[in-house]
Amino acid sequence: MMSQWIVLFKKEWTESLRNFKWLWLPVTFVLLGIMQPITSYYLVDIIENFGGLPEGAVMEMPSPSGAEVLAGTLGQFNQIGFLVLVLAFMGTVASEKTNGTHVMVLVKPVSYINYLTSKWMHLLLLSLSSFVLGFAASVYYTFLIIESVPLSQVISGGLVYGLWIVFVMTIVLCLSALMKSTAFVAFASLGTALLLSVLSMYTPVLMKGTPGMLSTYSQQLLFNGEPSHGFWWSIVVTGALILAMMGLTVYLFNRKEIAIDGN
C-alpha cells in the first residue's frame, strides 16, 4: 500500500513539474512577499510622485512597524495568494473526472484513500512551500529596510497561518473530488474562505474557536506573541475538521465511483 501511495505521489509531482507549478507558484508568493515591505517603505514617495498632490505639498506618514508589514503580507496572501492557489488546484480531481482519466488510474486497482491522500499531500506540500518562500522573502526585506520582529513571533504567526492554508486547500481538494465543475470548486472554496474571514473580522466573539479566526490569530502572534482567548480551541477544531473532511470525502468518493462502476 505504501509503495502504491509513493507511485501516485510521484505522478502528481511529475505533473506539477511539467506544468511548471513548482516554478510559478513559489515565484508568485515570493513577489507578493517582497511587494509588501518595499511598498510600505516607499509609500510616501509613491504618493508624492503619483498621487496628484499640489506642488510643494509635503506628506508625512508614520513608518509602519515590522509586525504591521508582515501582517499586511499575510493579508496579501489571504486575497491574491489564495486566488492563485485555488485556480491552480481547483481541477486536481475534477479535471480528471471530466476527462475520464481518473478511471485509468483507479482501475489498476488503486486504493481510493491512496488516490486522494497522495493528491492532498502534494497539494499541501506545494502550497505550503510557496507560502514559506514568500513569507521568508517578506521577513527578509522587512528586517532589512523596516525593522526586525522577534523570530519567535514570526515563526508562531507563520505556523498558524500555515494551518489556515491547510484548511482552505483541504476544502479545495474535497470539493474537487466530489464535483465535476471546476468553476464551482473555485467559487465555493474562495467563498467559504472569504465568508469565514469576514465573519471572524466582524463577529470575533461568535467565531471564536473556529478556523476562520486563524488568520486573525496569526496576526496577533506577529504583533505581541500572544493570541486572544479561544486560540487553542481554534487549532483543535480546525485539525478535527480537516480530518473529518478528508475522511468523509474518501467515503463519498468511494461510494460514488462504486455506483458508477455498478451502472
pLDDT in tens, 3-17: 889 999 999 999 999
User: Where are the domains positioned within the chain?
Assistant: 2-262
Q: Would the pLDDT of 246 be above 60?
A: yes
259: phi then psi, degrees, rounded to nearest 5: -65, -40
In percent, the amount of the chain with pLDDT more than 90 equals: 68
Are 95 and 129 in contact by the 8 Å Cβ rule? The answer is no
CA distances (Å), origin 66, targets 141, 151, 239: 10, 12, 30
Q: Quickly list DSSP for the chain.
A: -HHHHHHHHHHHHHHHHHTTHHHHHHHHHHHHHHHHHHHHHTHHHHHHHHS-PPTT-----PPPPHHHHHHHHHHHIIIIIHHHHHHHHTTTTHHHHHHTHHHHHHTTT--HHHHHHHHHHHHHHHHHHHHHHHHHHHHHHHHHHT----HHHHHHHHHHHHHHHHHHHHHHHHHHHH-S-HHHHHHHHHHHHHHHHHHHHH-HHHHTTSGGGHHHHHHHHHHHS---TTHHHHHHHHHHHHHHHHHHHHHHHHHHHHHHHH-
For the chain, give the mean pLDDT: 89
Grid cell, residue 213, equals 479566526
Q: Give the pLDDT confidence score for residue 169 in this predicted structure.
A: 97
Q: Rounding to the nearest 10 degrees, give the CA dihedral for residues 4, 8, 9, 10.
A: 100
Are 59 and 47 in contact by the 8 Å Cβ rule? The answer is yes
Give the span between the Cα atoms of 253 and 181, in whole angstroms.
15
Residue 84 — very low, low, confident or very high, per pLDDT cuts 50/70/90?
very high
- Side-chain-facing half-sphere of 200: CA atoms under 13 Å: 23
Q: How many CB atoms lie within 10 A of CB 129?
A: 14
Comparison of pLDDT for 257 and 144, the residue scoring more: 144
Residue 47 — very low, low, confident or very high, per pLDDT cuts 50/70/90?
low
Q: Give the pLDDT confidence score for residue 51 in this predicted structure.
A: 56
Query: What's the gap between Cα 130 and its chain centre?
Result: 9
Quote the pTM value.
0.91
